[in-house]
Amino acid sequence: MQVLIIDDIHSSLLNFFDQKQIAYTYLPDCKKEDILSIIEQYEGLVVRSKIKIDKNFLEKASNLCWIARAGSGMDNVDVAFAKEKGIILLNAPEGNRDAVAEHCVGMLLSLMNKLHTAHQEVKQKIWNREANRGIELQNKTVGIIGYGNTGKAFARRLSSFGCKVLAYDHKENLPSDEFAEMVSLLTLQNEADVISLHVSLNEKSRKMFNENFVQNCAKNFILLNTARGEVVDTAVLLKYLKNGKIVAAGLDVLENEKLHTLTQEQEQIFSELTALPNVLLTPHVAGWTQESYRKISEVLAEKIEKILI
């Protein structure tokens, strides 16, 4: 077994390979062309988000048996073609679910209590109490779309705030639990004061948050997106932030996160979005804490060990 690691990985995974006497090549700084020239030598691949594992890549990886992604999604992998080639796909949503859940709570409380804007004003010696009057989470209804690892972790943390939590998932017949009531998407849209997205990115979820989605929401609401930027049509988001239908937005992800490559249209939308006081932005770090960095590698080690038994 030869394993290629092409992204920065916590030492716990390297220690696992050493203990199991699995040979690995650790090249966190390598370029895509370098990887393509050597990938046929390897049976295992560990990756984060550096490159797209597309059809061309997989065709060159003639001996690849498994891909382990150090993260929660597999959207940088051509999943269908990988499965067609019989490649086992592993990821680690269990490793960063707590980090994402805590980030969501932090974003939500900051938006509801205007912490981010009040901080900036006080630094400028602006002491405006009335303009920074907040609203309480207690007795509000939070709708979680995508009730997997991160959605459930967020619901668990909301349980102490005295709010009602509704959840929708595309998987049918998921049971309600002590933290959330499973409902239809339409019910969630009718009742939610807060909508938090926790879906993986695929063709069904891409731009699922669109004009039709917002129009089906009965209340004005706060939006949280710590999933993937492409799930939200940013132009639609901006439109409804400006007219008040969307009260505020906490965004850890954007449609195009390579900000130096924005098109003219994207640049305009980004400029308007960042100028709004009711928007809170972070650079795709919700699941990227000191602890999750280690946990993700530990989860991958467990899953890799199972497929090697």
H-helix segments, the chain? 11-19, 32-38, 55-60, 79-84, 93-113, 115-123, 149-158, 185-191, 211-215, 234-243, 264-275, 290-308
Burial state string for 210-230 with b = 16 or more CB within 10 A and e = fewer than 16: eeebbeebeeebbbbbbbbbb
| Cα gap 232→242, rounded to integer Å | 16
| Cα gap 288→150, rounded to integer Å | 13
| Cα gap 50→32, rounded to integer Å | 9
Would you say 54 and 39 are in contact if contact means Cβ atoms under 8 Å apart? Answer: no
| Cα gap 146→198, rounded to integer Å | 5
How buried is residue 158: exposed, middle or buried, by Cβ count under 10 Å (0-12/13-18/19+)?
buried
Catalytic residue set: 228, 257, 284
Tokens 């062309």 sit on residue: 33
